[in-house]
Amino acid sequence: MVDKIVIENLSLQYSDGTESLRNVSMGIRQNAVTVLFGPAGGGKSTLLRCLNRLNDLTEVKASSGQILIDGENILDPKVDVVALRRKVGMVFARPVPLPMSIRENVIYGLELAGEKRKSKLDEAVERSLKLAAIWDEVKDRLDDPAVALSGGQQQRVCLARVLALQPEIILLDEPTSGLDPISTGKVEAALLELKKEYTVILVPHSVQQAARTADYAAFFLTGELIEYDDGRKMFTAPKQRKTEDYIMGRFG
């Protein structure tokens, strides 16, 4: 199986001097959940934000290396970032429903992409809300404001909003950090369904979640990729001392 994403010698330094990624190289498999975990400040979010060029919005002092998606270096300044962001969707830690109805939230990206046909949009709403396991809960109130939903429901609508664009890669940055265990379970179940079609990269909010969901797992510590392996191996028999310490809860 080929790698969907290949990261080569990626380093990144924010304008305040923080070295958030140091020479990271890894390949990320298609149709699998790859988990990036590690203590706070390890550079996990930074890496995710490189993958859809969201770091373009922040002040970055220096970055080097490349990220190949389907063989194309997306860090090249000539890359069409809008197209890239449609292909690489992102779900954030805190659900951020845009100030509009549930339906409008879900079709926001599609409309910007130029889709005007109502049938297509309706179809996308139903398909993506079903995929995000939220359809039954909201199908009768699609025109209500999305903020009126509970946090867990909002987060799944945010996931649906990303799915509506039919991306190829889905980035999730601690998507369940604010959610109760039941909502968390629903989101995780949705992820398992999603990996059949998509490449999923997840920053989990706990080691337990990492162990539950990971097909592959990467351990990050202060910007360095310490260990990268099959998920099962990583959480039963880590090779690095630092990884083991972290998994056993001995630090961080």
Q: Which of 20, 34, 45, 176 binds Mg ion (CB under 5 A)?
A: 45
58 near ligand ATP, judged by CB under 6 A = yes
Helix (H, G, I), strand (E, B) or coil at 85: helix
Confirm if 34 and 225 have CB atoms less than 8 A apart: no
Residues 91-130 that bind other proteins (CB under 8 A): 92, 94, 96-100, 108-109, 112-113
Structure tokens at 109: 């990206």
| CB neighbour list of residue 199: distance below 8 Å, 6 or more residues apart | 4, 5, 28, 29, 30, 31, 32, 34, 168, 169, 170
8 Å CB contact between 223 and 43? yes
Residue 194 Cβ vs ligand ATP, minimum distance, rounded to whole Å: 21
Minimum distance, C-beta of residue 14 to ligand ATP, in the bound complex (Å): 3
Q: Return d(Cα 70, Cα 79) in angstroms, integer.
A: 13
Q: Are strands 199-203 and 33-37 parallel, antiparallel or unpaired?
A: parallel
163, interface contact from Mg ion, ligand ATP, other proteins, none, CB < 5-8 Å by kind: none
Asked if 9 interacts with ligand ATP (CB under 6 A), we say: no
Contact 34, 47 (CB under 8 A): no
The smaller minimum CB distance to other proteins, of residues 89 and 152, is found at 89
- Residue 42 in the binding site for ligand ATP (CB under 6 A): yes
Interacting residues with other proteins (CB under 8 A): 52, 54, 57, 82-83, 85-86, 89-90, 92, 94, 96-100, 108-109, 112-113, 145-147, 158, 161-162, 165
Site residues (CB under 6 A) for ligand ATP?
14, 16, 18, 20, 40-46, 58
